[in-house]
Amino acid sequence: MAGRPQLTANVTELPCEVSVPTRWRQIALTLVVVGLLVATFNLVLAWGLRHTTPNRGYWLVKTKFQMLRGLEAPVDRLVLGDSTCNQGVRPEILEARLGGSTINLCTFGPNGLVDDALMLDAYVRKFGPPKSVIVVHAPDVWSRPINYYTLSQAPLGDGDLRWLGGNGLLGASARLKIFLGEYVPIYSAGKGAAELLRHPFNSASRRFELEPNGFMKVDPDPENTRSDIDRVVRGLNMYAKPLSGSNAVALEAMAALADKEGFDLVLFHSPVCDLLIERPETMREYTALNVKLNAQAAKSSHVFVGAEAAWTWPAEQMQNADHLTTTSSVAYTVKMAEALAKLDHSTP
């Protein structure tokens, strides 16, 4: 630039790049050591996330599986499903209305019906058949394929893996994802890891609380509910089939177990916001899904559809598009109890 006309002038001393003499061995050593450091950190993080995760869904899966493992006596009624059911079905109301003991083991949507089937299988192996099983899912969850990264958050034992393998749900890709989900959080749980590092004391177990019967209390959030409608509709539009392959396999397996062991399996739709039911995508989904669920019920003497129509609530009584609050969960569970009583199949 010296001696040439300048677009600019009066510049202070500028930085430059000064390389340092390096040997190839130093570079190789750096790559190896950095690789080892990252691997070590990854394992520490995996350990940390196993004990304290900020992700509510992951925490639910872990906690509910632990509840199942920790059960010391059989219960009459198992409630399985996703997070809509986790905060929508109150076991004490079912107990009061229908009698018998009930536990809510619902987890969250990404695991679909597969972890319902895993839990049911594990329960039956441990205690024998319950008297009835209720399965509840949000409209978009029925159509979602299983997410093995989230499934890996469950403490999967040999029996669980055998069940997955026996039902054709444990191919090489699934095994890899379960491994990555369990042992490589820097790849599989980036957001959770980031949240844990940023807010180490903000774990899900500090923010949420489960009652001893598995029910979780939640406050209303009408604004969030209104804006959440599109999320569910997007989910409905994402998949063509109303019942995904992995969910169909899980449902089939649960139905087969119900027939074999002689307990009732009752399927319910989750509660939804009345604004969601107005969307044509939602109605289309329910129509197609009910055909599938009724077909499954027709094949088995122990499988029932609790109610074909979805029960709706105004946004003010919901946490989001398909999740109830503590107050409105009472009405949902009462409706469910009435439907079960009508079916006259659930009363132990």
Partner 1 sequence: MIFTSLVFLIFFAVVYAAYLGTQRHLRLQNALLLCASYVFYGYWEWRFLLLIVGSTLVDYWVARRLNGTDDSRRRKRLVALSVVVNLTVLGFFKYFNFFISSTKTALELAGWTSDLSTLDIILPVGISFYTFQTMSYTIDVYRRRMKPANSLLEFAVFVAFFPQLVAGPIERAQTFLPQIQKPRTITAEGVNAGLFLILWGFFKKAVIADNVAVVANTIFDDVGGYEGLDLLAGVLAFTIQIYGDFSGYSDIARGLAKLMGFELMLNFKLPYFALSPAEFWQRWHISLSSWLRDYLYIPLGGNRGGTVLTYRNLCLTMLLGGLWHGAAWHFVLWGAFHGTILVVYRLVPSPGRPLPGWTVVPRWAVMFGLTMVGWVIFRAASLQDIGTLLGGLGLQSSSVTAGLYADLLFFSWPLIVMQVFQHKTRNLLCVTRLPQPVLWVLYGLMLLWLLVFGMSHNTEFIYFQF
Q: Which of 2, 3, 11, 72 binds partner 1 (CB under 8 A)?
A: 11
Determine the Cα–Cα distance for residues 36 and 285; give it in Å rounded to an integer: 49
Task: Please state the closest distance from residue 204 (CB atom) to partner 1, in A.
Answer: 18
Q: Which of 8, 73, 240, 344 binds partner 1 (CB under 8 A)?
A: 8
| Residue 45 or 134 having the CB closest to partner 1 | 45
Q: Using CB under 8 A as the criterion, what x/- string covers residues 193-212 for binding partner 1?
A: xx--xx--------------
| Residue 7 or 309 having the CB closest to partner 1 | 7
Strand partners, 62: none
Polymer length of the chain: 348
DSSP state of 316: G
CB-facing half-sphere around the CA of 70: CA atoms within 13 A? 11
With binding defined as CB under 8 A, does residue 280 bind partner 1?
A: no
Residues within window 107-126 making contact with partner 1, judged by CB under 8 A: none
Residues within window 39-98 making contact with partner 1, judged by CB under 8 A: 41, 45
DSSP three-state, residue 102 = strand
- Site size with partner 1, rule: CB under 8 A: 39
**In sequence order, what are the residues at sequence separation of 6 or more whose Cβ sits closer than 8 angstroms to the Cβ of residue 162?**
none
Cα Rg of the chain, angstroms: 25
Q: Which of 2, 14, 73, 240 binds partner 1 (CB under 8 A)?
A: 14
Which class for 4: exposed (0-12), middle (13-18), buried (19 or more C-beta within 10 A)? exposed
DSSP state of 87: T
Q: Which of 6, 287, 301, 327 binds partner 1 (CB under 8 A)?
A: 6
Task: Please state the closest distance from residue 57 (CB atom) to partner 1, in A.
Answer: 17
CB 100 within 8 A of CB 48: no
* Lookup: tokens for 301: 């003497």
Q: Using CB under 8 A as the criterion, what x/- string covers residues 17-36 for binding partner 1?
A: xxxxxxxx-xx-xx--xx--
Residue span binding partner 1 (CB under 8 A) among the ranges 4-12, 115-123, 153-161, 249-257: 4-12
| Residue 96 or 197 having the CB closest to partner 1 | 197
* Lookup: tokens for 78: 């198992």
CB-facing half-sphere around the CA of 68: CA atoms within 13 A? 33
Residue for token digits 């903000």? Answer: 202
| Residue 12 or 240 having the CB closest to partner 1 | 12
Task: Please state the closest distance from residue 186 (CB atom) to partner 1, in A.
Answer: 4
Determine the Cα–Cα distance for residues 308 and 289; give it in Å rounded to an integer: 9
| Residue 34 or 291 having the CB closest to partner 1 | 34
Determine the Cα–Cα distance for residues 276 and 295; give it in Å rounded to an integer: 25
CB 311 within 8 A of CB 268: no
Query: Cα–chain-centroid distance for residue 313?
Result: 22
Residue span binding partner 1 (CB under 8 A) among the ranges 15-23, 64-72, 83-91, 275-283: 15-23
Residues within window 172-191 making contact with partner 1, judged by CB under 8 A: 186-187, 190-191
Strand partners, 78: 103, 133
| Residue 174 or 189 having the CB closest to partner 1 | 189
With binding defined as CB under 8 A, does residue 3 bind partner 1?
A: no
Task: Please state the closest distance from residue 3 (CB atom) to partner 1, in A.
Answer: 13
Q: Which residues bind partner 1 (CB under 8 A)?
A: 4-24, 26-27, 29-30, 33-34, 37-38, 41, 45, 186-187, 190-191, 193-194, 197-198
